[in-house]
């Protein structure tokens, strides 16, 4: 993994020498489809937290897009994320800054057997493991990375390959790394969640709404992370659009009563302190 990341970063250094606007817009379009829809909306809000339901054809399509982000197959990604919420900011958290900022940012990823040593074989993704589609993606994960790269090179040559594959992938990885680390280190905590999660407004555009992270840890089930009107949440806007056209159903958002109960509990704890 370390070797692959180094090689990909080195290739990205050559990107300015292979720049053209067509390659840039292809990378931007793929970023929306693969990284925003595939990782943030599918892997995170749909599969990990079941914040809403999609028709199976759309659920599988978006999950397949997520496999092209080079962040792992759906079963492994969801398992790791559910472990994060179960053991958030403890020694058993897969990527908490309590073990160091850079551990939460990157180095946790370099030890692929760490979770197996801590928990044994993952047993928190039974809902995905019983579906043959997700088992297939886990077994064939690396094979799916090649066709897109070959297609990009065939259509646009080296610029399309570098920008559509390597630059896009590295940007996506660093966005995810920032949520794991910065959003558990810097920012404010409007909700007393008992962990280090923070709302970090200054990276909300880069993270597409994922950096309203304290909101997320307070209401894990919510499809909407930017709970205030001014909290930009691009992923929520897409989910809301899917809801309006009838593709997203059973969309979960926190009720006003749930917010009030959490606020009242926080005030009680503060008085006790």
pLDDT tens digit sequence for 115-159: 666 666 668 999 999 999 999 999 999 999 999 999 999 999 999
Confidence band of 221 (pLDDT split at 50, 70, 90): very high
Confidence band of 195 (pLDDT split at 50, 70, 90): very high
pLDDT at 261 over 80: yes
**Residue 264 pLDDT:** 77
Quote the radius of gyration of the chain (alpha carbons, Å).
19
**Residue 269 pLDDT:** 61
What does the block give as tokens for 166?
Answer: 């390597």
**Residue 265 pLDDT:** 73
Domain extents in the chain: 2-272
Query: In whole numbers, what is the pLDDT of the chain averaged over residues?
Result: 93
Question: Cα–Cα distance between 66 and 46 in angstroms, integer?
Answer: 12
pLDDT at 9 over 80: yes
**Residue 273 pLDDT:** 47
**Residue 149 pLDDT:** 96
User: Which 3-state string (H, E, C) describes the chain?
Assistant: CHHHHHHHHHHHHCHHHHCCHHHHHHHHHHHHHHHHHHHHHHHHHHHHCCCCECCHHHHHHHHHHHHCCCCCCHHHHHHHHHHHHHCCCCCCCCCCHHHCHHHHHCHHHHCCCHHHHHHCCCCCCHHHHCCHHHHHHHHCHHHHHHHHHHHHHHHHHHHHHHHHHHHHHHHHHHHHHHHHHHHHCCCECCCCCCCCCCECHHHHHHHCCCCEHHHHHHCCCCCCCCCCCCCCCHHHHHHHHHHHCCCCECCCCCCHHHHHHHHHHHHHHHHHC
For 43-81, how does the pLDDT look when each residue is reduced to its tens digit (9 = 90+)? 999 999 999 999 999 999 999 999 999 999 999 999 999
Q: Which of 86, 81, 108 is nearest to 97 (CA)?
A: 108
For 244-260, how does the pLDDT look when each residue is reduced to its tens digit (9 = 90+)? 999 999 999 999 998 88
Residue 53 backbone phi and psi in degrees, to 5: -115, 150
Residues 232 and 226: beta-carbon distance below 8 Å: yes
**Residue 272 pLDDT:** 52
pLDDT at 113 over 90: no
- Its pTM stands at 0.94
**Residue 37 pLDDT:** 98
What percent of the chain shows pLDDT beyond 90?
A: 86
């Amino acid at each position: 993994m370390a070797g692959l990341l180094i090689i990909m970063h080195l290739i990205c250094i050559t990107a300015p020498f292979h720049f053209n606007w067509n390659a840039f817009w292809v990378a931007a379009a793929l970023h929306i489809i693969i990284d925003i829809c595939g990782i943030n909306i599918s892997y995170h809000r749909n599969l990990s937290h079941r914040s809403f339901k999609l028709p199976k054809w759309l659920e599988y399509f978006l999950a397949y897009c997520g496999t092209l982000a080079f962040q792992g197959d759906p079963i492994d990604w969801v398992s790791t994320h559910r472990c994060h919420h179960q053991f958030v900011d403890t020694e058993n958290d897969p990527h908490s800054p309590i073990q160091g900022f850079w551990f939460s940012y990157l180095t946790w990823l370099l030890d692929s057997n760490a979770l197996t040593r801590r928990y044994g074989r993952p047993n928190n993704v039974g809902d995905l493991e019983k579906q043959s589609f997700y088992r297939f993606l886990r077994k064939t994960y690396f094979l799916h990375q090649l066709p897109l790269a070959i297609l990009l090179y065939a259509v646009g040559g080296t610029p399309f390959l570098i920008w559509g594959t390597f630059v896009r992938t590295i940007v996506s990885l660093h966005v995810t790394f920032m949520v794991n680390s910065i959003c558990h280190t810097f920012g404010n905590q409007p909700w007393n969640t008992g962990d280090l999660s923070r709302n970090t407004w200054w990276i909300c555009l880069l993270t597409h709404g994922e950096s309203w992270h304290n909101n997320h840890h307070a209401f894990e089930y919510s499809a909407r992370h930017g709970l205030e009107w001014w909290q930009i949440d691009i992923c929520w806007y897409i989910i809301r659009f899917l809801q309006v056209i009838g593709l997203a159903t059973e969309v979960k958002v926190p009720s006003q009563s749930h917010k009030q109960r959490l606020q009242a509990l926080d005030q009680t704890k503060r008085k006790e302190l």
